[in-house]
Amino acid sequence: MKIVGVAACTAGIAHTYIAAEKLRKGALARGHEVYVETQGTIGVENELSQEQIDAADLVILAVDIKINGEERFTGKRIVRVKTATVIKSPVQFMEKVEAELAKTKN
């Protein structure tokens, strides 16, 4: 599965970057292709391209705040989660997402 995501926390420092890294690791561990943008105190990093968004099967927003540019994901399947959830158990989070997606396909 192709996944794009955004990570952003209230302070825009540690949890933003930890969540982005854990999201990457969790998705890769489950065999997915993943690109994650961060929106932190220094602005947007690793900004998702429109091509990446268009090709994505799923958008994961690991956010604790309102993010900029959410309209880019209109029409996409979106999973919204707190950064702490992704940080605590990234692989289990991805397994749960996969299970939910499998239910909606049937």
Q: What is the pLDDT of residues 21-33, one digit of tens each?
A: 999 999 999 999 9
CB atoms within 10 A of CB 31: 9
Task: Output the tens digit of pLDDT for each of the chain's 106 residues.
Answer: 999 999 999 987 899 999 999 999 999 999 999 999 999 988 999 999 999 999 999 999 999 999 999 999 999 999 999 999 999 999 999 999 999 999 887 5
Which H or E element spans position 8?
strand 2-8
Residues 4, 7, 9, 56: which is the catalytic one?
A: 9
Q: Classify domain 2-105 by CATH architecture.
A: 3-Layer(aba) Sandwich (3.40)
d(CA 43, CA 85): 23
Residue 106 is a catalytic residue:
no
d(CA 100, CA 40): 29
Domain locations in the chain as residue ranges: 2-105
Report helix, strand and coil shares of the chain as percent, to nearest 5.
Answer: 45, 25, 30
Which H or E element spans position 2?
strand 2-8
